[in-house]
Structure 1
């Protein structure tokens, strides 16, 4: 039997293994389950902090394996990837999250992913981004929006979604840890890889995709689609944004993983198949910064010793519109 339970403890009891185990058995008993201590294993699943009502509490979720062999929390959902042999090829436009995970998904089936990215790799992209603030120079093809890893690589490193019914979130987190992310993201309620660590994780993903037979073409911008007589897309035309040289890439299909900033792609589609486009709402926001000490003190009611960086979420209605905090980077 596998039973999921949640216990609530004080911060000072978080590291007391004997206390936590006893609390877990008590919780099982509340649920009408009598478990043998020698035949039960508790696997930590998730931690969330409750700072309401002036009292800090931790909600710890566990899976109780009663008479069962526990699954490895770091690898249980990892896919099996196959070396691509080149017999089937699919072009992916964009090397952001959708493009990278799209490539990994194709490798589950042994299909060769060919990733086309107009921006630079993370090492060169870092320099392009630095020039924005130091010299006021913006490279239109390699900046905060474009380049290896996508728009979030140098601006966040956060991992959080409210859409938990669309797919296997644990699988995604385990893939990130395989490529170097801190295993804490598997159990934190609002996991963060960290902006300083994310480029290294992205690089490891790229190297693995290449090792498995995939291709990356940086500084390469899609400027058109190749169509057959039935208007089926059979490839793309591309331009090297540094040399201006144009080339063709042919494949069985093309995946658009271009993100929201690629207006040129929408223009291309509008010229070929305008009925494929539809208007979309969007949110606009501002960045607000607070000293960590202030947020920690407010959220933890002054009891900050030994606590991780606090976070918060705000939402309200103003003049008929929803106003909310989109993302928050603790610390």
Structure 2
């Protein structure tokens, strides 16, 4: 069994193995001669004190101990295996397909959007010409929303499944092994598409199928069992098991399920704005003035505050990042953030959002499964109207927003389609804007320099999670009323981010495999 040792070092010692080992052996009662192998198991930055440090967890194997070998993903032929339908080729769908291959089943993946390469043209049209393709955008297409709107791999869902396995599969398909070590691993939007492509090629090589531009338009169930699905332009196809991994923005799926008598329900979500600062400022604040240290990465931050009974917090913080237009329909505007692998853009952006429960909404009706969704849609449409019915976004300098003053001008930001100066207090619902005003001033006290008129609010940040949940059994992971239907990951309300969605995809497929064996 290996030995784990915790040490702290200054940033410039990060690549100094002799220094690291000296710190280790100052803490243990054995010497280097007793060690056959060692590595850094976890690495994180500790910026709580004036002197920034790296915290390292060192794993050592003494001589005579068996060093476990990591299993690489193995492709096996499942051409003749039992078929299982997977709706959506985001992280949940892809990982469910890979797990199906491990379990000897044949995955048939249906993705409404395009492959990663073809998606690029639609994203370019969205950014440069403000043309929204409802089936191919930042949310829909191979790899899901995370492929081109970030590559963060950290998750708080430690109890929901095998995080290490999900991370190791990313390495198997091309990610750097550093993601297994860093406390906040990140691949980057520039590198993630090729990894996603490698996963799809492995699925196809094993005999599985991945179909693009294949939108689910109908579903059939009888006697509380799934019977068949219909893909647009195709005949009905029968399946005993369907994993529904459609993502948080596939609103048509929620309406389809409701129409077919399959229970959906409103759930809590969060909505607010995306704020952009200069990355140099965030570095200076977080690293206590040591912002030119070449051994420190672009700094991130995490903020949270309770305001009048609702949480206000930072979401999907992107160091060295870019704000992207993420609408999925022509009559709305949506923002999100992403970072390249080097995180070397001059801006830092983060969602600052307010937690909202269905019961908080002015038109709450416990019988209405779409009360949260309707609120989300109205905010997006109001922002679209305020920006002139374009993919520009309504925007305001931070202090101007708190004071209720329209900004006389706006600095250049990373949001390519452009900004329209408005008073966001007149655009966003008061329940959001009032809490954001209080929280921003408080955040400025927690991070000296954060509250500045050089920071710009872009509205809205609205796709933090699904506003609708597709309820499932906690044990079987099947829909509570329909056997064989597996609501999965973000779109069903059971994940938040690439890794937690991937884990949920694995978990759902595990249940399918278990049922198929019984």
TM, length-normalised to structure 1: 0.90
Indicate the SS of the match to 1:328.
strand
1:140 and 2:137 aligned: no
Q: Name the CA distance, whole Å, in 2 between partners of 1:172 and 1:87.
A: 23
> What is residue 10 of structure 1 aligned with on the other side?
10
Report the counterpart of residue 263 of structure 1 in structure 2.
251
CA spacing shift, 1:36–1:130, aligned 2, 3 Å:
closer
Deviation string 1:34-61 (CA, Å, 9 cap, x unpaired) is: 4663344322111111122210111011
> Does the C-alpha gap of structure 1 residues 77 and 325 become closer, same or farther in structure 2, counting only changes over 3 Å?
farther
Give, in angstroms, the shift of residue 224 of structure 1.
Answer: 1.1
Q: Aligned partners of 2:190, 2:217: CA distance in 1, in Å?
A: 33
The Cα RMSD (Å) is 1.8
The structural deviation recorded for 1:167 is 1.4
Q: Structure 2: how far apart are the matches of 1:77 and 1:8?
A: 31
Higher relative contact order (CA 8 A, sep 6+): 2
CA change 1:321–1:231 in 2 (3 A) is: closer
Q: How does 1:57-72 map to 2 (within 5 A)?
A: 57-67=53-63, 68-72=65-69
Structure 1 residue ranges, 4+ long, deviating more than 6 angstroms after superposition = none
- The equivalent of 1:50 in structure 2 is 46
Partners of 1:41 and 1:124 lie apart in 2 by 45
Q: 1:189 matched to which residue of 2?
A: 183
Note if contact 2:34-2:62 (Cα within 8 Å) is conserved in structure 1.
no
1:273-292 alignment, distance < 5 Å: 273-274=261-262, 276-292=263-279
CA distance in 2, matches of 1:232, 1:118: 24
Query: The residue matched to 2:317 in structure 1 has which SS?
Result: coil
- In the alignment, does 2:230 pair up with 1:230? no
Secondary structure at the counterpart of residue 163 of structure 1:
coil
Aligned counterpart for 1:320 among listed residues 309, 317, 323: 309
Structure 1 residues 96-135: Cα deviation after superposition (integer angstroms, max 9, x where no partner): 1110111011111111111111111111111111111222
Q: Is the 1:43–1:70 Cα contact (8 Å) retained in structure 2?
A: no
Aligned pairs for 1:170-209 within 5 A: 170-209=164-203
* TM score, norm. by length of structure 2: 0.58
State the Cα distance separating 1:160 from its structure 2 match: 1.5
Unaligned 5+ residue runs, structure 2?
A: 321-518
Note the C-alpha offset of 1:266. 1.6
Distance in structure 2 (CA, Å) of the matches to 1:184 and 1:222: 37
Aligned to 2:425: none
Q: Which residue of 2 aligns with 1:96?
A: 90
Deviates more, 1:292-301 or 1:211-220: 292-301
Alignment match, 1:242: none
Show the counterpart of 2:27.
27
Asked if 1 retains the 8 angstrom alpha-carbon contact of 2:35 and 2:60, the reply is: no
Matched-pair contact (CA < 8 Å) for 1:35–1:66: no
**Number of aligned pairs?**
317
Counterpart for residue 120 of structure 1: 114
Larger displacement relative to structure 2 (277-286 or 215-224): 277-286
CA contact (8 A) 1:77 1:170 kept: no
Contact residue 79 and residue 208 of structure 2 kept, 8 A: no
Counterpart Cα distance in 1 of 2:130 and 2:203: 35
CA contact (8 A) 2:75 2:202 kept: no
1:51/1:226 CA distance change after superposition, 3 Å: same
CA–CA distance in structure 2, aligned partners of residues 36 and 299 of structure 1: 36
1: distance between equivalents of 2:78 and 2:138? 31
Local SS of the residue matching 2:316: coil
> Which stretch of structure 1 is more off in the superposition, 315-324 or 284-293?
284-293
SS in 1 for 2:28: helix
